Every structure is written in structure tokens, then in C-alpha cells.
Amino acid sequence: MAPSMRWFARTFGLAAVAHLVGNPAGWRSDHFGGSPALVAVSATLGAAAIVLLVRPSRLALATTAVLALASLWLELPVTGNHWLLVGFVAAATLLSLATRDPWAWLSVTGRWILLGFYCFAAFAKLNSGFLDPEVSCGIFYAHQSLASFGLPTFDRSGVLGTAAIAVPVLTELSVPILLASSRTRRAGVLLALVFHTVISLDFAQHFYDFTAALVVLLCLFLPEATLERLESTIQQSPRVQVVVTTVATILVAASLLPPAPTTIATIKLIGFGAWVPVGAWIIWRVAREGVGPAPVPMRLPSASAWIVVLLVVANGLTPYLELKTALGFNMYANLVTVSGETNHLVVPRTLHLRNVQDDLLRVVESEADELDVYAQSGYLVPERNLQDYLARQPGVTVVVADASGERTLDGDDAVRLPLLVRKFMTFRSVDSQDPPRCQSAWFPAY
């Protein structure tokens, strides 16, 4: 492989390892996609990704891409937007390996994948909830990050509160614009790397997996010469490769085990501790290259490349069409798109193509303790979701309420969702409060 593609392969391996460590397969319950199959695929993916990190090759890259897609399939719908993004990159990688010039095809397609993803992620934050200091995800995660290190939080309505809202919005809106021009491309890459690495400094929640996924694609906007120098630096550092192999192996192995104190400490301490110098090194190396012009090809090479990019765009549109609200590149955004209504400042109404959210239920009580989170938090759940939950959990009953009063749902109401609908057309719970709070976790019925 060419040096530039070898660097891409290494960062793809890094993203896979970061995902496995940040989302341990051994810690997942059955309700959230845990299974022996996922553990087995994760173990194999981890091994392939480590090989790719230290000995990049076409075979290792193809193997890692196939296993990443298998992992994504098994995790869906309870996975992160970053892993869906990696899934698109994995598909593009496999398609590129079937072309005469894989790097020329993949590098351009990858750039457009990032632009599509990032534009929708930034656009989703233009809503009244994210701009409200009382509920903004910007302040929520800033507080969480500070508290995770034992540091004091700040006043929501003060200067720092305003900055915690304004900085993410302005940065994320600026990055695609900067990346679109050769004159500002390096500055855009550097800005995004710094911003997302700072965000990943959260000891309470794994954001380094998200940042690692972005590193894969952001580096595609750098000139070939820069990528060649990055690759050369790693290739000429055998000791670094030994350290990377050792640390990554320990972390991947820990992610496959049940959540005992030792494995939790390994993931938390070593995982986070390993990411910080990696992220800092990448920023330092990119910054050393300066912020001069970075001309790179941007013309999509084939119809198949167009299809991949259009699928990315279509996925970003799904919340506004109400085809789904999960994994629509609308994460960390306070965005609401329910029954034709939305809190978005630019989109006045959703297209409301599906009526799933027309029947939102309030959970009153249930013999399943895990459903208590709905009653305690005030989140509403689509009736379809509860019916699917009851099909997955036989014998459970739940008392719910809607505009017509209370009723009980049990096994007779269970309706298993079609596999593809459950995997790709998922609706999340809806906050009953207005403005909507920052929904930072998956609930049992999603």
C-alpha cells in the first residue's frame, strides 16, 4: 500500500480499538445487544485492528472493515453515531479495494462522507434546546467532564455557560466551511482535532471513540506529503509499535470480560490514559505542518462513491423526515422531531412520514425494574417500542398512561419489530419536559 493509505489503515485500526475499549462487548446486557456472537466478533475485530495498527496491509484492512461491519450489525440499534460513521467508512474501504486505484477512490469518498456527517451533526444543534442554558447538551457535557476530574462546575447563565453553548455550535459550523477550501483546509483539520480531543477529555464517558473515528476522516483532508511524513514517523518507531501492541491487547482483552473491578479500572485508567498522548501527538504533528494551502481532489470518482455519500446524506435527513430519531447524526443536540413538530430553528416542521411518535406513552409502573427509569425521569416512549420490548422480554407487564387514561400492556400486546426496522429505523424516547433535556443514555425500550 502507498504510505498515505497505510496511515489511513493505521487510523482505521485505532478507531476500531477505541470503539471496542469505549464500548466493552463483555459489559453489554441482553437488552442492549449483548451476546456471545458480539463478544466473538469483537475479539476477532480487536485482533485484526491491532495487526492493522502495527502492520497495515490490504488484507488486514479488508478484514478489519468486514469485522467492523459485522460488529455494527450486531450492536444495532444500540450503538453510537460514530460507529455508524465507521460502518460507512468500512463499506467505502471494501468498495475501494475492488478498484484499480483504491487510495484515489477512498480518499475522495471519505472526504465527502465526513462533510456529510459533520454538516448534519452541526445543523442538529441549531435548536432552542441546545441554546437554552438550563438544558443544553453543551453545558451538560462540560459539567460532566469537569466533575469527572473532581473540578468545580460553572454557572449555567454565566460567561462560561454561554461559551459551552457557543463554542460547539460555532466550531462545528465552521469546520465544514474550512475543510471545503484548500486555503483553509489545514486550519479546519487542526480546529476539529483540537476541539474533539478536548471534548474527549471526559473521564465519566467515552468520547475518545468518537474522536478517533473523526481522526480517520479528518486526516484525508491533509496533503499526501503530510500523510507520508506521519506514516514514516510511525514506521521508523519500532518501540512505539511494541507499546501500542501491548497496551491495545490489554485493553481489548479487558473489554471482552465481564465488568469486574479489575477490568473496569483497566478500561477507565489505561484506556483513557493511552488515548490522551495519542490525541496530543496527532495534534502536535499536524500543527507542525502549518496551516498553508492543502489542495486535494474532491471530485467523486464513480457512481458507487456517489451512492455511499448519498446514503450518508439520507441518514442525516431521517430525523427531519421522522423516519427514525436514533443514529441520525443528531447526537448531543437536544433536537426534538416529534409528530410534525420540532424545536429546530431552521426547519419549521418535520415531514412526519411515519406515525410512530403519535402514540407516546408514560410508564406508570412495571414489574421490570429497568423500566422504572421512564417513570422516574419523565421520558415518554413510543407504544411500538414497548410492544417490541414485551416481545423480547416475555412475562413482563407494564402500566402506561396516555391521553385516554391508564392501561396495562402485557404479552398479549407484544409485537416483535421486523429485523431491518429494529436495526435501522429506531425511535428514541421523548422527553416530556419542555425544553428537552440532554438525553445522554439509551433506555431499555430505546
Q: 368, 393 in Cβ contact below 8 A? A: yes
pLDDT tens, the chain, 446 aa long? 999 999 999 999 999 999 999 999 999 988 788 999 999 999 999 999 999 999 999 999 999 999 999 999 999 999 999 999 999 999 999 999 999 999 999 999 999 999 999 999 999 999 999 999 999 999 999 999 999 999 999 999 999 999 999 999 999 999 999 999 999 999 999 999 999 999 999 999 999 999 999 999 999 999 999 999 999 999 999 999 999 999 999 999 999 999 999 999 999 999 999 999 999 999 999 999 999 999 999 999 999 999 999 999 999 999 999 999 999 999 999 999 999 999 999 999 999 999 999 999 999 999 899 999 999 999 999 999 999 999 999 999 999 999 999 999 999 999 999 999 999 999 999 999 999 999 999 999 99
Element (H, E) at 427: none
> What residue segments make up the domains of the chain, in order of their start?
3-311, 355-431
* CA distance linking residue 105 with residue 97, whole number of Å: 9
pTM of the predicted structure, to 2 decimals: 0.97
Are residues 51 and 252 in contact, defined by beta-carbon separation less than 8 angstroms?
no
- Kindly list the distances between the CA atom of residue 14 and the CA atoms of 32, 47, 59, 85, 247, in Å, as whole numbers in the listed order: 24, 12, 16, 14, 12
